[in-house]
Structure 1
């Protein structure tokens, strides 16, 4: 393989950090070659998601149930695949897992399955809201706007919902909170949250017997776009956060620069200057470092006495 080809297929630093770990902690099946191969997985997952979404939209437009059963249950799992190979968080994976259960439940006709699907998507909204709020809080004017929208829509549909009033009211609170929190994360994630809100709003319109031609197609297209934008937006934001954390850790590891001069001698002007050596310890000059001790006065008197 040429040098240019190796460079083309070399895994980026984030992927190498995830999969190419020290041998003491790296799984046996993860080798550098596998890590380079896994670099193409996120793009493959998104490509397959787009294909599955297109098949699902064709099935909805033509009312072919078999196409919907094939494609719709694959949408969220393909995005889970993308998240797991892009340092995604557990809450996002949990939200997409709940969405998978909700998609399957809503394929089955009947009010019971509709309620089960709503319960599954309630888990999706709660997981996404916690994930978004943990990163950044939305602005107060955004909260006021979404609360006003929630109250207006529920007031407009309340008389038409019948037995579904309370379940839809509870679900709409979580849905609106998620859409509001998504606006604080990034523009892409905020757009995804708004499309999710619009998609489920149209489902509520259908539950209130206020149908219109092409509603199912609009519901599905906005839902698929919402999943795509929320997932990719969250992945981009997670990578940016990891890059900031990595830079901060590197700065802390490097520590402050060492002083230009580092010596043990006290500087001039110190309150405690170095003391001169005592005569006993000071080195003697000349060949004899231990000269004879001079006679003391007491010795002279002793000699005189003798």
Structure 2
């Protein structure tokens, strides 16, 4: 996630040139992400954890590469890339088992994702302006957080209740910011939150067939839409 910088006399020409680092770079990296996503969803259906999920830690780096190639040199979306880096750590932590240590480590990593996204949406994408115009969206996001925690908390182990409440509060804040931005970013955030809600149900002992596949599908769709919408709306 290095940040390339363009300075000097040629910088103006660079900023007027194509966004991608190389011709077809955007399409190539997006195709790589799509291929990795398809492979991981297939592997998830067969074996949710273990060596078959080798593609999982590569998913967010591929999406980050797409983001970098879709922006002008010297103007990478730093908060988006930071969030994807944290998500990579979280994906890796949750890859091998479902024990509490792995869950808490993954939650801590994804907390970084939510904080990065919220900061970026607020500073760069006009989330606050959008929420001032439509404050009910923020109210709805935090009301949903309260309702879900009220239902799930009694069914969680005691040692998970506070971490889950704290992480989900950050998730709700990210969701509220995304609703302020609107468009693909908002849709992606809703998909991401739905995926995490399924993980919460799982942690509380509520499981059903294909749950793992739905979790991963919602997560991948959410991350892609947040990224695509971010790139469309980020200042040039």
Fold in common (TM above 0.5): yes
Give the secondary-structure state (helix, strand or coil) at the position aligned to 1:58.
Answer: helix
Q: 1:237 aligns with which of 215, 233, 236?
A: 233
One of 137, 146, 150 as aligned partner of 1:142 = 137
Q: 1:112 to 1:184 in 2, by over 3 A?
A: same
Q: Which residue of 2 aligns with 1:297?
A: none
SS at match of 1:211: coil
How far apart, in 2, do the equivalents of 1:55 and 1:174 lie? 30
State the match for 1:267 in structure 2: none
Q: Which has the higher contact order (CA 8 A, sep 6+)?
A: 2
Map of 1:113 onto structure 2: 102
Alpha-carbon spacing, 1:44–1:20, altered in 2? closer, same or farther (3 Å)? farther
Deviation at 1:207, TM superposition (A): 0.3
CA contact (8 A) 1:101 1:117 kept: yes
Other-structure match for 1:172: 168
Deviations 1:56-89 (A, max 9, x none): 0000111163231x21111100111112122231
| Aligned 8 A contact 1:157 1:205 in 2 | yes
Q: Deviations over 1:179-205 (max 9, x none)?
A: 111122231010000001000010000
Distance 1:85 1:120 in 2: 25
Alignment match, 1:157: 152
Larger Rg over CA atoms: 1
RMSD, matched Cα: 2.3
CA deviations 1:192-225 (Å, max 9, x no partner) are 0000100001000000001111111100000000
Instruction: Identify which range, 119-128 or 209-218, moves more after superposition.
Output: 209-218
Give yes or no for contact 1:19–1:35 (8 Å, CA) kept in 2.
no
Q: If the length of structure 1 is used for normalisation, what is the TM-score?
A: 0.66
CA distance in 1, matches of 2:164, 2:136: 25
CA distance in 2, matches of 1:36, 1:212: 42
| Mapped pair 1:224 → 2:220 | yes
Query: 1:75 — aligned with what?
Result: 59
Is 1:22 the equivalent of 2:23? Answer: no
1:245-284 aligned at under 5 Å gives the runs: none
2:57 aligned with 1:61: no
Structure-2 change in CA distance of 1:37 and 1:132 (3 Å):
closer
Q: Say yes or no: does 1:94 pair with 2:82.
A: yes
Larger helix proportion of the pair: 2
Aligned to 1:127: 116
Q: How does 1:191-230 map to 2 (within 5 A)?
A: 191-230=187-226
| Secondary structure of 2:103 counterpart | helix
| Alpha carbons 2:20, 2:26 under 8 Å: kept | no
Q: Which runs of 5+ in 2 are unaligned?
A: none
TM-score, normalised via structure 2 length? 0.85
Q: Any unmatched runs of 5+ in structure 1?
A: 1-17, 243-306
CA 119–171 in structure 1, closer or farther in 2 if over 3 Å, else same: same
